[in-house]
Copies of this chain bind each other. A is one copy, B any other.
Amino acid sequence: MISTKIPKMIYGGDYNPEQYDRETMNEDIRMFKSAKIDFVRVNIFAWAISQKDEVSYDFQWLDEVIDTLYENEIKVGIGTGTAAHPAWLAKKYPDVLRTEFDGKKRKFGGRHNSCPNSLTYQKYASLFVKKLVERYQKHPAVLLWNISNEWGGACYCENCEKAFRVWLKEKYRTLDHVNKAWNTTFWGHTFYDWDEIVTPNLLSEHFGERHTMFQGISLDYARFNSDSMLECHKMEYDIIKKSLPDTIVTTNIMGAYKPLDYQKWAPYMDVIAWDNYPSIETPTSYTAMMHDLMRGLKNGEPFMLMEQTPSQQNWQPYNALKRPGVMRLWSYQAVAHGSDTVLFFQMRRSSGACEKFHGAVIDHVGHENTRVFKEVAELGEELDQLSDTLLNSRVQSKVAIVFDWDNWWAVEYSSGPSISLKYVDEVHKYYKALFDQNIQVDMIGVQEDLSQYEVVIAPVLYMVKPGYAKKIEDFVEKGGIFLTTFLSGIVDENDLVTLGGYPGELRHVLGIWSEEIDALAPEHTNKIVMEKEYGLLKDVYSCSLLFDLIHSEGAEVIATYGKDFYQGRPVVTKNKFGKGQAWYVASSPDDAFLQGLINEIIKEKGIRNDFSGNEPGVEITKRIKGDKTYVFVLNHNSDTVHIELSSVTGLNLLTGEEVFQSIELASYDVAIIEQSK
């Protein structure tokens, strides 16, 4: 946990002084100080600078950087630099280069360019990290180690093919098990020798972006690829930890990034650190969900906002500026969801190559008289004032949403029923319904204990892993409310259908049988007709995407379809099970329905948000430490709003003013109210 190492919320970000001269660095540091910047991340892509061949290392430049920063009381996050291998390595040892999804062998270029199963890459990356550790392990400036940078992508080379077979042998032991897990009797794919197995890509089982002819092998390859990168990560992690068991080691990850199963990565990150890059169109609720997903990776421990842009990006189609106040607002949104840092990419804009148009604290103009720098400096001042107040405070949620990478891969690798089904979108629909009512949520994996929650929502829980149905039954039996949707309970961990009727292992707890699944193009919707008023739900609502045709096997029918040949059949059911309830939503409803449904469910469990109304565009969260509760009020609107806060009273830490049950916030403004209790 980073908060044990720092006296205040660290503030700063990525810094690449190797791109400029010493004089510029001095000027940078002067400006950093004026903005209360006290932490920078260095050496992220500097492997090639420090090592010019197999045997020659030269860290003089880095010594100078780190020493100078130290002299100026700026802490350092030291990157291991392995996120881009040197050109000489690629030229001499082409096995370090990746092979793409379509089978093309890459040349040197870009970043994240190494094959994770290249022994050459592993050898020279290890050696480089060892040299770094040797040199900087005792340096007092170093606050943490950052392995690589935004691990990602995938490789399909021969080395990976061979490593995949080994990975499969370890997992399945016999080919019989593989053949069974992948259902290879279909289309005559029986394997008689491990070496007959090839990487599943556009040359073999895949066609188009996300389609595969064999889900089993593709799913295992997705796991293998994530594991392969994790092995590289662990290799570096172990090197650093061996010498520095007490230091913080992490890597910066990317929210709902599909290729890597971060839930398996989290044990090898001492603190979760992530890069938050919403566009001007990203819903506020989506960003919030990402923060919660990241916080959920490590049991709710505070995380690091490792990167965000102070202003604009360069890789969006349209790179809008962050409007005045928005950088501060989104920084506090991260904190409101559990971040103990506010960090940027990047401190100074590069003058050439593809990120020259990416925003920076110090712009190409080079001085501090810019809107962006001023906003950064003002926030620096505030964070300085806040000192350690918020550090290590916790978010407490009674509601969990289940998010599972394997399930994501599996549901989207499936051929049918609908190409419009996107796992993250369906999860976000439910998240948003909670968010709009200011109910805090934990985003959890299937390995998590459920006993601390009152409500567990698992949208499109297509894959039910061994033991998970039992876990849910126990949860409901003891009084929990569980909710899931269409296309749940379909397959096991190998994407093999659970025979005997959908939703498979969840059928018992849900008290329903789903006989068929209709899929229609987006323009074809159906209606949700309430059987009777249910809380706020009294109208007719719309639903779309998939339409499970279910039979109640004991569940109460809450609403029915309003048209088509399944008019009158259940679309929403509630099953009493033990002391709890298990809900099934058989189609993808509109927002209004979900708002009403969620409102009713949380009311049943007595979950309240302590605020009298839900002002549109106003987000309210709490972090708790000891006997203090910090209420974050964030106005995402571009105009001033008056917000009723019911029983909330206390000091607004950002203004020093007392707040009594309501507050007025200007456009994009934030309040952090400290309550005792």
Contacts and interface: CB of A to CB of B under 8 A. Distances in A.
A187 B521 CA distance: 44
A592 interface: no
B357 A417 contact: yes
Given A198-B108, A520-B320, A352 B311 contact: no
A377 to B, nearest CB: 16
Interface string A301-312: 000000000011
Contacts of A185: 16, 18-19, 46, 49
A92 to B, nearest CB: 9
Contact of A317 (B91, B182, B316, B418): B418
A216 B416 contact: no
Interface string A492-526: 00111111111000000000010111111100000
A521 B185 CA distance: 49
Given A515-B370, A516-B372, A111 B317 contact: no
A186 B19 contact: yes
Contact of A320 (B188, B311, B355, B519): B519
A214 B358 CA distance: 14
Contact of A216 (B205, B317, B353, B415): B353
Interface in A410-430: 414-420
B203 A355 contact: no
B189 A87 contact: yes
A513 B370 CA distance: 11
A187 B111 contact: yes
B188 A350 contact: no
Contacts of A215: 352-354, 356
B415 A354 contact: yes
A520 B318 contact: yes
Given A182-B352, A364-B501, A366-B500, A416 B192 contact: no
Contacts of A350: 183, 186
A407 interface: no
Contacts of A104: 102-103, 202-203
Given A81-B188, A109-B200, A183-B350, A91 B193 contact: yes
A422 B284 CA distance: 32
B357 A416 contact: yes
A437 interface: no
A48 B183 contact: no
A471 interface: no
Contact of A417 (B107, B319, B519, B565): B319
Contacts of A414: 354, 356-357
B355 A84 contact: no
A105 B188 contact: no
Contacts of A84: 187-189
A416 B349 CA distance: 14
B314 A190 contact: no
B499 A366 contact: yes
Nearest to A97: B203
Contacts of A196: 87-88, 90-91, 108
Interface in A561-583: 565
A105 B196 CA distance: 16
A435 to B, nearest CB: 25
Interface string A580-602: 00000000000000000000000
A125 to B, nearest CB: 12
Contacts of A83: 188
Contacts of A321: 516-518, 549
A499 B111 contact: no
A165 to B, nearest CB: 12
A18 B186 CA distance: 8
Contact of A213 (B111, B311, B513): B111
A313 interface: yes
Contact of A416 (B312, B324, B416): B312
Contact of A351 (B314, B499, B521): B499
A86 interface: yes
Interface string A367-383: 00011100000000000
A135 interface: no
A55 interface: no
A568 to B, nearest CB: 14
A183 B365 contact: no
Nearest to A351: B497
B186 A16 contact: yes
Contacts of A349: 497
Nearest to A200: B109
A188 B494 CA distance: 40
A106 interface: yes
A199 B106 CA distance: 11
Contacts of A103: 104
A30 to B, nearest CB: 17
Best-buried of A212, A316, A420 by chain B (most CB within 10 Å) = A316
A172 interface: no
Nearest to A81: B188
Q: Which 10 residue pairs spanning A and B have beta carbons closest together? A: A183-B352, A109-B204, A314-B416, A357-B416, A87-B196, A365-B501, A48-B188, A109-B205, A45-B188, A84-B188
14 contacts: A52-B192, A87-B190, A105-B203, A109-B206, A111-B213, A182-B352, A186-B350, A312-B516, A314-B415, A318-B521, A320-B519, A356-B497, A357-B414, A363-B516
Interface of A: 16, 18-19, 45-49, 52-53, 81, 83-88, 90-91, 102-111, 182-193, 195-200, 202-207, 211-216, 280, 311-321, 323-324, 349-358, 363-366, 370-372, 414-420, 491, 494-502, 513, 515-521, 549, 565
Given A81-B188, A88-B193, A317-B419, 9 more contacts: A45-B186, A46-B185, A46-B188, A49-B185, A215-B352, A316-B416, A318-B520, A357-B414, A363-B515
